[in-house]
Structure 1
Amino acid sequence: MIANFIEGLQEFHFLQNALVTSVVIGAVSGMIGCFIILRGMSLMGDAISHAVLPGVALSYILGINFFIGALVFGFLASFIIEFIKGNSVIKGDTAIGITFSSFLALGVILIGVANSSTDLFHILFGNVLAVQDIDKYITIGMAVFVAVMIVLFFKELLITSFDPLMAQAMGMNVVAYHYLLMFLLTLVSVTAMQSVGTILIVAMLVTPAATAFLYAKSLKTMVLLSSIIGAFSSFLGLFIGYSFNIAVGSSIVITSAVLFLISFFISPKQNFIRK
């Protein structure tokens, strides 16, 4: 089985693209996911991942690259959620629920208008085996950009994540860093569509980071470990999906979930076995 996978990597260009793309997406999703779970914003990640659907459908209708439409609608959803939260008595989770369900419904309508269920089905559930060279390079470029931004603004993101009131007292623009994180989250959500689809993106954002949280004692360690776990889950998920001819996106998510389940029982932080 392993020999067949290695032979496939040597022989098939599409499998090489799938391996590079899935591992890169897994790594960068793990990085940004740490800040998402520390801020209690897992639902926000789910909202943005679903909100990009109408952008993808509209891009398909207009004949442009789906990255463009997805980014626009991801940013728009983030802005609408923050606007509702900041200008009404409506709570954040309610604003997220209204926005993401509305955008999802719009996406379903546009899918019907596009009248091409095959390609858009892959956007919903992922099809990393169909990744083209241009998509691979865009994914790598976006991943590098996100990683560089996290390194450059690590201290600011750390402080605003743990204690936004102290960050504000120190003169930091908490709102600006929040929107920076939403910008990076949207980029990662758009790139992750290729491997796991819009339905399962939140799993790649949250699960590796949650697994790393069970072991790490500092945010730096957590980000590094989460990135490694995300990349390994993607690699192993691709191997299982290709070897057994099952959906690769779902295999990646299940692999990540199994790693979390194992860590839940054996991590020193949980101390579950001793209990």
Structure 2
Amino acid sequence: MNLIVFFLEPLSYDFMVRALATTLIASIVCALLSCWLVLIGWSLMGDAVSHAVLPGVVLAYIVGVPFAVGAVAFGFLAVGLIGLVRDTSRVKEDAAIGIVFTTLFALGLVLISITPSQTDLFHIIFGNLLGVSWADLTQIIVLGAITFTILVIKRRDFTLFAFDPTHAHAIGLNPKLLGAALLGLLALTAVVALQAVGVVLVVAMLIIPGATAYLLTDRFGRMLVIAPVISAMCAGIGLYLSYYLDTASGGMVVLTQGAAFTAVYLFSPRHGLVGQRILARRRRGSLEPSS
């Protein structure tokens, strides 16, 4: 099999074309947002919101409204409940996050189990990348475009909020509003990625690309480019591997991202485990007196 056949054969099927478009959009949008989540330290919050949107998505399906409506509503509900538990009890934030997101996730599972449906709603949990319809793809394109555009336009404000909320407030920005906007975009991004990898693996797409780029550069502007590029490459490679190896598509995409992170973690020139040891040896060698 030559390379042309290798790349074109999967695309001869409409479901693979839709799957490729879906996973590329989801991976790029998730990767872009992941840069701020990693920088702010909201990785666990990303986990919480991505799981907490499940009952909102199911209720939106029951009522017959777009998934994004229910997802955003429950995303903000989760954040509000986390803040309420944290501020009105002795429970710390990490425990509050765990309590809220697991409870809401369990509520979503119960709603799925009692909701009559012609489609398998458990695909929301585990993803159904190869079952994405043209209508689903249209929704993904619209939500992805909205999220991507807002992140790009407001990137300077979000970055200032991430680095120094006090300075952001001093120059007239509203840190609380910026934080709420990021959480709202997180909920929208979760809906986009649900179609690709499901609720369980959304958090991986929201964290791994940003963490990988963080090990490759010290400049945030470059992170915003590196993370989506790596994520998109992993999406394509993972989808093709799933086609030829006959494995779960969403799981393979995330597994490919994990492999990319492992390679960067080990061999990144400045921050990789092996790279740091090589640099340390070179420094020691340069300090030793020549005989």
Q: When the two structures are superposed, what TM-score results if normalisation uses the length of structure 1?
A: 0.92
Other-structure match for 2:285: none
Shift of 1:31: 0.2
Greater Cα radius of gyration, structure 1 or 2: 2
Counterpart CA distance in 2 for 1:23 and 1:72 is 26
| Partner amino acid, structure 1, of 2:73 | V
2:274 is paired with a residue whose SS is coil
CA deviations over 1:95-145 (Å, ceiling 9, x no partner) = 211210110111121112115596222111111111111211221222221
Counterpart CA distance in 2 for 1:230 and 1:79 is 30
Counterpart CA distance in 2 for 1:12 and 1:70 is 31
Deviates more, 1:218-227 or 1:139-148: 139-148
Other-structure match for 1:6: 8
Counterpart CA distance in 2 for 1:216 and 1:138 is 33
- Please say if residues 54 and 104 of structure 1, whose CA atoms lie closer than 8 Å, have aligned partners that are also in contact: yes
Shift of 1:12: 1.4
- Please say if residues 18 and 134 of structure 2, whose CA atoms lie closer than 8 Å, have aligned partners that are also in contact: yes
Aligned pairs (5 A) from 1:45-56: 45-56=46-57
Counterpart CA distance in 1 for 2:91 and 2:171 is 29
Other-structure match for 1:227: 228
Q: Aligned in 2, Cα 1:65/1:170: closer, same or farther, shift over 3 Å? A: closer
Counterpart CA distance in 1 for 2:143 and 2:62 is 24
Q: Aligned in 2, Cα 1:144/1:66: closer, same or farther, shift over 3 Å? A: closer
Other-structure match for 1:108: 109
Aligned pairs (5 A) from 1:165-204: 165-204=166-205
Other-structure match for 1:267: 268
2:105 is paired with a residue whose SS is helix
Other-structure match for 2:237: 236
Q: Which ranges in structure 1 are unaligned for 5 or more consecutive residues?
A: none
Other-structure match for 2:19: 18
Counterpart CA distance in 1 for 2:244 and 2:68 is 29
RMSD across aligned positions (CA)? 2.0
CA deviations over 1:214-253 (Å, ceiling 9, x no partner) = 1122111101110111111111111111111111010011
Other-structure match for 2:74: 73
| Partner amino acid, structure 1, of 2:266 | F
Other-structure match for 2:159: 158
Identity of aligned residues (%): 39
1:273 is paired with a residue whose SS is helix
Counterpart CA distance in 2 for 1:83 and 1:191 is 28
- Please say if residues 111 and 117 of structure 1, whose CA atoms lie closer than 8 Å, have aligned partners that are also in contact: no
Deviates more, 1:90-99 or 1:39-48: 90-99
Deviates more, 1:260-269 or 1:55-64: 55-64
Counterpart CA distance in 1 for 2:130 and 2:40 is 33
Counterpart CA distance in 2 for 1:6 and 1:178 is 43
| Partner amino acid, structure 2, of 1:138 | Q
- Please say if residues 60 and 114 of structure 1, whose CA atoms lie closer than 8 Å, have aligned partners that are also in contact: no
Shift of 1:39: 0.8
Aligned residues: 274
Counterpart CA distance in 1 for 2:119 and 2:157 is 43
Counterpart CA distance in 2 for 1:254 and 1:113 is 32
| Partner amino acid, structure 1, of 2:10 | G
Counterpart CA distance in 2 for 1:65 and 1:174 is 29
- Please say if residues 53 and 75 of structure 2, whose CA atoms lie closer than 8 Å, have aligned partners that are also in contact: yes
Q: Which ranges in structure 2 are unaligned for 5 or more consecutive residues?
A: 278-291
